[in-house]
Structure 1
Amino acid sequence: MSKIKTWMPLYIGDYLADTASLSTLQHGAYMLLMMEIWRNGPIQNNPRRLSRVAKTDVQTWEDEIWPELQDFFTVVDGCLDQKRLRAEREKAEEISKKRADAAAKRHASKQNACKTDANAEQMESNSSANAHANAEQVHSKCSASGHANDIQKDTQSQSQSHSSLRSEDVGCNRAAEIEKPIADRWQELAEDVIAATGNNPARSMVRADCVRQWLADASARGYSFETATEIILGTVREKSRFGGKGKPPAWFNSPVTQALASGTIPSAHIVGNAPKSRADRVADAWAGVPDIPGV
């Protein structure tokens, strides 16, 4: 079932102002009709069909309910519809689509990162194999020619070339590691933060600029965007349960700042050091390759 079908916005002030003259029976029928239209679209304008949706009989529908409710609806192509409800549904669908697209982009980005890491590991393996092959070739030349000085010069030259290639390889990998700063991705997180505070992102007018600063702090501490998101949302959700529900994001500034400083994800686990980048992992891999005499 679509998430949109599981909830419907209700602006209580507007609703009570528009329906002040309705009876209890009419209120119930009105709500049931709006929920049916929200979930399944316009309803066929037929008394028998409408009375079933309103959970009443046709006689009661025609005598006590419909005369008071008919001004709240419009009939389009023989079906009962509600203008405000349709506008809210379209807005909710647009927001849902944007979030789905953003999630798909993040998933694609993670897949590309995995492919890059796999290529880096292959390069590490090939470089290690070449290093051992060069070492064997150097020792063969030494035993065949007997010219120790000349061979020593050749060996030193190959060692310098190999070291240069290894340095360039790490440098290239570091260049590929450069990504968009996580602080520039704050808008991806802002809507989720607003929702975690108990506000409705679709109509909330609260400012969420503090999310940008939170991500800047997280970046300075070496966190990835995903880890920073876990810490920030975890803290906001926990504080919302204890007096923070409905507050603007800026209200959570102090606990979020403290959580980023300590690396704590509430009700989950303690975050350690930020994960190493691919370039750092390449450098660590080369550090583990034993030195070969003369190479």
Structure 2
Amino acid sequence: MNRNFPSLGMTLSTLGLVSVFLATNAIGTSNDTAPSTSAYISVYSTDLGSGLGSLLIQAEQPADIMLVNDPAVAGRRAIRVQVHKSDDFSKVANGSPRSEFTLPRDFHMAPGEEYLIRWRTYLPRDFAFDRQQMEIITQIHQSGSRGSPPFMLTLLGMDYTLSVRGGGNTEHGSGVRLCYARDDLDRWVNWTLQYTPDASGREAVTRLWKDGKLVFNGNGLANAYPGDQFAYLKFGVYKPGWLRQPSDVNAVELYFGDLSVFAKTVRR
């Protein structure tokens, strides 16, 4: 089921503010459970057993994003995402190394709405961790083409890291460490993001759960670009500095499972 929502805008005030906020308010400081979907309406969901549906693909070649057999669960399907440093990315957005898929563009994220986003990731047993630069694996992207995404879930070294940005500060910076990713090889991880975009931060909600445990609470941090009504979700692999900076890896491969988005109006 699809429903149109206006868009959002996002960024952080300063990396210093975020670091202080996280030290006192985020990782491992709450046993809150993720909200029930009963208070929301379903606005988008995939059914990978029936195919990729209307997902939009950004990749150097079709084989980089494919529907395949689930690597861990017999009889289930998953999306395999791969990217190789040697590929020609000249025809991909910004000419940067990426293999990504987005929800249909008639789905937008906007101020005044609260979203509950659920998705799954799988790192193969032989996944190659890059200690020298990150890869973005999930993001909420602003509708404009310039600037860093308001929300990014990334891998850096053997850690999951996360960045939130909004309001007047959209400069790129290092992510905040969430938890160790090395333990997740060869198994599915379930993510839940509760997200209410607000460029001022006053009504902003950004809470992330990993396998039912709250790993980030960024409530009160600006998490949207001002006036943005058409932000959207992206999944896959994006390594913006791969062709210019040192790296430990020449290829990245991971998997995504079915994803779903729920929403409710919190402000008119």
Query: Normalised by the shorter chain, which TM-score bucket?
Result: under 0.3
- What TM-score, normalized by structure 2, do the two folds share? 0.22
- What TM-score, normalized by structure 1, do the two folds share? 0.21
The answer to which structure has the higher strand fraction is: 2
**Which structure ranks higher in relative contact order (CA pairs < 8 Å, sequence separation ≥ 6)?**
2
The answer to which structure has the higher helix fraction is: 1
